[in-house]
Amino acid sequence: HLPNSLEARDVAYQLHSYTDARRHEEAGPLVIERGEGVYVYDTSGKRYIEGMAGLWSVALGFGEKRLAAAAARQMEKLPYYHTFAHKSHAPSVELAEKLVAMAPVPMSKAYFTNSGSEANDTAIKMIWYRSNALGQPERKKIISRVKGYHGVTIASASLTGLPNNHRSFDLPIDKVLHTTCPHYRTMARPGESEADFARRCAQDLEELILKEGPETVAAFFAEPVMGAGGVIVPPQGYWEAIQPVLKKYDILFVADEVICGFGRTGDAFGSTTYGLEPDMMTLSKQLSSSYLPISALLVNEKVYAPIADESHAIGTWGHGFTGSGHPVAAAVALENLKIMEERDVLGHVRQVAPHFQARLRALARHPLAVEARGIGMLGAVEFSHEMLRDKPGALGGRIFAAMQEKGLIARNLYDTVAFCPPLIISEDEIDAMFDMAEAAVAEVAKETGV
């Protein structure tokens, strides 16, 4: 890279997330300069389809002027105020009201945070606070799932069930436990039907609860469809088997809707798609199309009442972020939700998702692929490193790099390549995306003689 270029200065000064630092020093970054619709452009002017909507999040694409205008209006009127100690402002009130109204099951209150990690972290603190308020201080254990992704703070990284987020960080913390990942192909026993596998996942959960002691287990966290763990769509009957176990032992259910929320699965929420009845929901990403950071935690009356009830009071709810309910972020989220309704983005998703899923499954017919998984506008193809006797992740990395070279940004999660484009993507753009993906896979196959 040229001295003084953005690429060279990036390598010199910036430490990146989820990046191998030494490899970054050699290869440098892809610097994105601008965006429009489903496209982003790098500093050389090369155009890419953003097949991941950034980080599963830019629902309305990269050039929505109305979101910029909403931010500017709010910046000029009231650029900042907080929501501590009985203070409030219109954007946070309106957004809280809107989210409670949109929730697929009755919810009482919205609490604002700035990232998915913070929303999940806050959920854990609220659950612990509630257990204390109820006089059940022993009820603090939380169960999530192997391969679930819930964030990177100390508590939310503990919920996350991926080795990369635990190894070298001395995590998970001891109150967080993990149950079976519901991935049928890799986790089912030989000859086990999908329905039997789903029932066994629920049995595994129940056994863990009984082993730990039901009186010590406070909550279960799960994404309706697992995202960063490899886009793992639950097997038939999974949620129908899991939810009664939670109800039987009076364990709170927290649905992490950070990826699924606001249309990704073809419904307003993943909970709607799967008939989930969560007590708490965490929301972020598509809430504001990620134009500004904002996240929210919705809680039902069962969670809220003991926290608010004076007879249980254990002091002020001593928690909050400077940016909680930030007026500019909240104004952008409100405008984002308004645009989604006005343009019937959900209707559009329902119209184009079958084509997206058909092209995803066609890509997975390549001999290098072992499985396609997906629902709505979320999908992934898993490739087999064994074909090349590469180390795990190497083939996914090569295919991902070939796609990027052709002008498609996807995401490799080891040997799984994920696709999660902006919800506004057209059928033609879906075709362009998968044409590039197919060409990239063919090229890697040819190079390696498969």
Which residues contact ligand PLP (rule: CB under 6 A)? 55, 115-117, 120, 149-151, 223, 227-228, 256, 258-259, 284
- Considering the complex, what minimum distance in angstroms separates the CB of residue 229 from ligand PLP? 9
Toward ligand PLP, which CB reaches closer, 223 or 415? 223
Toward ligand PLP, which CB reaches closer, 224 or 306? 224
Toward ligand PLP, which CB reaches closer, 74 or 288? 288
- Considering the complex, what minimum distance in angstroms separates the CB of residue 384 from ligand PLP? 25
Q: How far apart, in whole angstroms, are the C-alpha atoms of residue 251 and residue 221?
A: 10
Toward ligand PLP, which CB reaches closer, 64 or 223? 223
Toward ligand PLP, which CB reaches closer, 366 or 411? 411
- Considering the complex, what minimum distance in angstroms separates the CB of residue 126 from ligand PLP? 16
- Considering the complex, what minimum distance in angstroms separates the CB of residue 166 from ligand PLP? 15
Taking CA atoms, 81 is separated from 25, 67, 118, 226, 319, in Å, by 40, 20, 19, 35, 17
- β-strand pairing of 141-145 with 176-179: parallel
Report the SS3 class of residue 384: coil
Any idea which residue has 């129940």 for tokens?
206
Q: Which residues contact 327 (CB under 8 A, 6 or more apart)?
A: 74, 78, 79, 80, 81, 89, 90, 91, 92
- Considering the complex, what minimum distance in angstroms separates the CB of residue 267 from ligand PLP? 16
From 146, 148, 155, 152, select the one nearest 124 (Cα to Cα): 155
Toward ligand PLP, which CB reaches closer, 231 or 402? 231
Q: What angle do CA 233, 237, 243 make, to 5 degrees?
A: 95
Toward ligand PLP, which CB reaches closer, 241 or 413? 413
Toward ligand PLP, which CB reaches closer, 66 or 166? 166
Return the bridge partners of 226, or none: 232
- Considering the complex, what minimum distance in angstroms separates the CB of residue 158 from ligand PLP? 13
- Considering the complex, what minimum distance in angstroms separates the CB of residue 149 from ligand PLP? 5
- Considering the complex, what minimum distance in angstroms separates the CB of residue 115 from ligand PLP? 3
By the 8 A CB rule, do 262 and 296 touch?
no
Return the bridge partners of 411, or none: 418
CB atoms closer than 10 angstroms to residue 342: 9
> Quick one: tokens of 335?
């405008």
By the 8 A CB rule, do 235 and 71 touch?
no
By the 8 A CB rule, do 220 and 251 touch?
yes
- Considering the complex, what minimum distance in angstroms separates the CB of residue 262 from ligand PLP? 13
By the 8 A CB rule, do 371 and 382 touch?
yes
Q: How far apart, in whole angstroms, are the C-alpha atoms of residue 138 and residue 100?
A: 31
- Considering the complex, what minimum distance in angstroms separates the CB of residue 57 from ligand PLP? 8
Toward ligand PLP, which CB reaches closer, 56 or 434? 56
Toward ligand PLP, which CB reaches closer, 413 or 441? 413
- The DSSP result for 121-160, as a single string, is HHHHHHHHHHHHHTT-TT--EEEEETT----SSHHHHHHS
By the 8 A CB rule, do 193 and 235 touch?
no
Q: Which residue is nearest to ligand PLP (CB)?
A: 116
